[in-house]
């Protein structure tokens, strides 16, 4: 196996061929904020929070979707990057309707955690207060589009792990939204297996179990086990 040697904030690390810059940053003992990334799913670089600087390059690169290369010099905490990350989080809050005090994920929300990590205590941008839907047609789960940040983790976990292909992205710009089936009520999509993987993969309170109330959604640290449990349950049901 070939190995690439590079530096992360001046610290030399070696990572195997095929590793990403995010892998290299973690190998160096550092951490980057992420929202769209989930280990085991195809990286898409949608949230732009893991942007890093490469010395000698004139543009920023998403660490989760950029392959590590020999001799790269990666910078992760420059003033420019810190300013970009805070701005991105402020835009997430301004673009949606995130009322943490009444959210099922309050205290267990990755967006909330990232806001604390980047030092965001308010948004400098005007709140849009979009009129979005809440779909509670599924017998066990619901989706509140006010809390959705379009990370597409629900779509990718449904496609790549469950293989049900329930979720997709429709429209463009500020009208962009996650849809079930052919833009049907979630409860009417026959392809849905009710496995709950999309609930466990969601970094916010956008997709949740109906019996969860404020601050009762499972923490993200438990999601890998929850995904394994759901997969095993589905295999048992198919026997």
Mean model confidence pLDDT for the chain: 91
Find out if CATH 3.10.20.740 is the number for domain 3-77: yes
Q: What is the pLDDT of residues 71-97, one digit of tens each?
A: 999 999 999 999 999 999 999 999 999
CA distances (Å), origin 62, targets 22, 37, 57, 181, 185: 8, 11, 13, 30, 34
Does the structure show a pLDDT above 90 at 229? no
Q: Which fold has domain 101-238?
A: Alpha-Beta Plaits (3.30.70)
How large is the average pLDDT for residues 32-56?
A: 95
Q: What is the pTM of this model?
A: 0.88
- Compute the distance between CA of residue 20 and CA of residue 44 in angstroms, rounded to an integer: 12
Give strand ranges (E) for the chain.
Answer: 3-8, 11-16, 51-54, 60-62, 73-75, 134-135, 141-144, 167-170, 177-180, 207-209
Q: Which residue has the higher pLDDT, 222 or 177?
A: 177
pLDDT bin (cut points 50, 70, 90) of residue 228 is low
Q: What is the pLDDT of residues 163-173, one digit of tens each?
A: 999 999 999 98
Residue spans of the domains in the chain: they are: 3-77, 101-238
CA geometry: angle 164, 169, 171, nearest 5 deg: 150
Using N-to-C axis directions, what is the helix angle for 79-95 and 110-117, rounded to 10°? 140
Q: What is the pLDDT of residues 103-130, one digit of tens each?
A: 999 999 999 999 999 999 899 999 999 9
pLDDT bin (cut points 50, 70, 90) of residue 205 is very high
Residue 162 CA from chain centroid, whole number: 18
pLDDT given at position 217 = 87
Does the structure show a pLDDT above 70 at 183? yes
Among 36-40, 126-130, 232-236, the range scoring the smallest mean pLDDT is 232-236
Of all residues in the chain, the percent with pLDDT exceeding 70 is 91
pLDDT given at position 47 = 96
């Amino acid at each position: 196996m070939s190995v690439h040697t590079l530096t992360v904030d001046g610290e030399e690390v070696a990572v195997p061929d095929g590793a990403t810059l995010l892998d290299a940053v973690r190998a160096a003992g550092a951490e980057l904020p992420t929202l769209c990334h989930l280990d085991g799913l195809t990286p898409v670089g949608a949230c732009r929070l893991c942007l890093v600087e490469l010395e000698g390059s004139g543009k920023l690169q998403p660490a989760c979707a950029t392959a590590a290369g020999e001799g790269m010099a990666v910078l992760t905490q420059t003033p420019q990057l810190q300013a970009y990350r805070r701005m991105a989080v402020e835009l997430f809050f301004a673009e949606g309707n995130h009322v943490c005090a009444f959210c099922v994920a309050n205290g267990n929300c990755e967006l909330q955690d990232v806001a604390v990590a980047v030092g965001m205590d308010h948004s400098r941008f005007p709140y849009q207060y979009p009129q979005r839907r809440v779909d509670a047609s599924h017998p066990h789960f619901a989706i509140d589009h006010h809390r959705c940040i379009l990370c597409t983790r629900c779509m990718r976990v449904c496609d790549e792990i469950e293989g049900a292909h329930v979720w997709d992205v429709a429209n463009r710009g500020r009208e962009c939204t996650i849809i079930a089936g052919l833009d049907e009520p979630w409860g009417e999509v026959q392809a849905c297996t009710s496995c709950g993987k999309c609930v466990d993969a969601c970094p916010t309170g956008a997709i949740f179990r109906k019996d969860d109330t404020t601050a009762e959604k499972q923490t993200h640290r438990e999601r890998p086990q929850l995904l394994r449990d759901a997969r095993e349950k589905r295999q048992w049901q198919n026997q």
